[in-house]
Structure 1
Amino acid sequence: MNIIISYLDTMFAAYPPSPKLVEARAELQAMMEDAYAAAKSAGLSENEAVGKVITEFGNLDELAPVLGISREISPEPQAQAQAQPPTHAQPQAQGQPQPATAAPQPTAPQPGPPLGRAAKHPPLSLDEAAAYGAARHEADSRLGLAVALLVSSPVALIVLTTLAERLGSQDGEGVAGFIGILILAACVAGGVLLLVGRAQKLTPFTRITRGHFSAGPDVMAWANTLASNEAPRRTGRLQIAIGLWVFALAPVVGAGMLADGWGGLGAACAILLVATGLLVFLPANWAASAAERIRQRSLVPSDQLAREEETSIVGAIASIYWPLTTLVYLLWSFLGNAWGSSWIIWPIAAVLFGAVAAGFGSWETYRAAKREER
């Protein structure tokens, strides 16, 4: 729904505020909210519902007669008439020679569009931008769940093997390890499937993700409005996530200090806290990511955006980091029979990955801010 509100703000931003326009905006917002609720009740997805509402109510010129604001959004006919030069010369007195008509001067060639990236790629419409924002909203919800599943996948293995070791059952350790590995594989498979579904969700917007478009002032205004409207929610989610990540060290330290041999449970709690923080923050980052993608397009050449999209640093690290961590954990545990101590890999790996991801995220934000200053 925030995408629709941002779209509505952009529609009215081009006109000077007046009581009638404020009233019309409130009326149009109520109509769009009713249509959005009806579309969601009919079983449409977020992206489909937003697209349907924008298609029905996205043209202010067509809605102006219904809202009673035709005069406010259209130029006055009188002003247009005054601006037009007279087309006929005044009649001359009889016998008076007609003035010589100046020969038409050759007009200077008008400058064409710049040969930069705006002429290279077609412009992005406001409807396409709103549809992309809705798709990112839904896709990033899947991203948060997928990353949380991948990070928390070893929790069951750590907990089961720790309990089996504390109970002193040799056979139980093997069974616990087998069940834990099955749960780990199921979590990894679920996370990968969610990531594949997310990629398919964004496939119709490949030209946006690769920067093959030109962003006009209306689209840029919409992107800025969307990011501003979602900024408080994103900041609140980020604060919660940072608190969870910082507190993730407490279970590990507490388990090591208070109970000998129960460190695995502390590690499992730490991993769950890290995964919960990612689940809280990542879905709230959709608006900032969508707006940044559109804003970057006006500042960075499209070929550079494509390279950044295809070679995301954090994504490349994550694609090999967690499988390698899992492999090291399993080799150490099985070959060294170190189920009681190998769990230490996971909290260390989670904290290191969180630090790397946060560092690269801050670096990209800093680069974006510098580009905007220029």
Structure 2
Amino acid sequence: MKDSEADSRSHKPCVPFGRIAVLGAGSWGTALASILARNGHDVRLWARRPALAEAINKTGMNGDYLADVPLPESLTATASIAEALADVDAVLMVTPSSTLRAMCEAIKPHLPDAAPIALACKGVERGTGYLLSEVVTDALPGHPVGCVSGPTFAREAALDHPTAATVAFPFSYEDRLNPEKSPAARLAMSLSGGGFRPYVSDDLVGVEVGGAVKNVIAIACGMMSGAGFAENTRAALITRGIDEMKLLAQALGGKRETVTGLSGAGDLTLTCSSTTSRNMSLGFQLGQGTARAACFEGRPVVVEGEVNSVSVTELAARVGVSMPICETVNAVLHDGADLRAAFTALWARPIEAEPYALELSLAHPSPNLPLQFGDT
């Protein structure tokens, strides 16, 4: 399209949400609440601990999670779910994936009818194999459910560094007739401002799969980086990890191309590039030989990829998708597999074709030859 044609397009007006609740006052929840408040919206940030809510309101800072980031004066924190949800137009849930169902039950009595719910957490529920949106739909029927996902480190977003993410909701027939009135468009408009730039998607499954799988792949990258390998190895894991995302997304009804966007390739690249990511950091420490209990200096840090390595591989097996990188990470984290032996076996798998349309599988010529780890 020519620039003149692009400039002449008519842009439909989109009304953002007014009052928004952000449930979860960790680093990402606080960053999202800060973005919304900076954009002029009435934001209530719910914190599980009353002391944290009080400190945020008193100091204008979240000293536990974003200690060096001043928060907008208009941002209000509360430890009362009822207060947080009173008369809200939309809800952002930023709680750990393992506690999502319990959180749904806790907010159910206070949630305004038909209020859209967007998830800013990532994963697959263990046991059911549900994507997190399916967990919310199951627990809270009658609410549009979507997600916000992308390559976003919380501190940078809170500091208003240029950041892009995807807002995804399924589109109803009415949404396709009037997309500017869809929950996805309205939430994207609410988040738009300053350095934060959202994109709108109707492929919720593809976006969610990217968010869940990338954390597991990031642990794999961390493991191999910690073991002494460098950029070739990381690039191989990222690229083949994207392929695992595509296969799972497609098997669940999502679009392969979604995985090449912000919520898939973008988020994976960021998470696999820095130990700022807890997933990458956990893998790095394990790759260096640190015992799991001693990682993060013994602090009980929640690492979503560690939790979801089980649920992702279980879901993949259920739908008949091979995800060897995720399976390797799960084996090391939960089945007692030796890290070096597991990754040696990963690299010695039969030689396959790229793309899959070329059907080929060749026995590896040296399946028992170990990888040359840093101290060998």
Scaled by the length of structure 1, the TM-score of the pair is 0.27
**Larger relative contact order (C-alpha < 8 A, sep ≥ 6)?**
1
Task: Decide which structure has greater helix share.
Answer: 1
Scaled by the length of structure 2, the TM-score of the pair is 0.27
Say which one has the larger Rg.
1
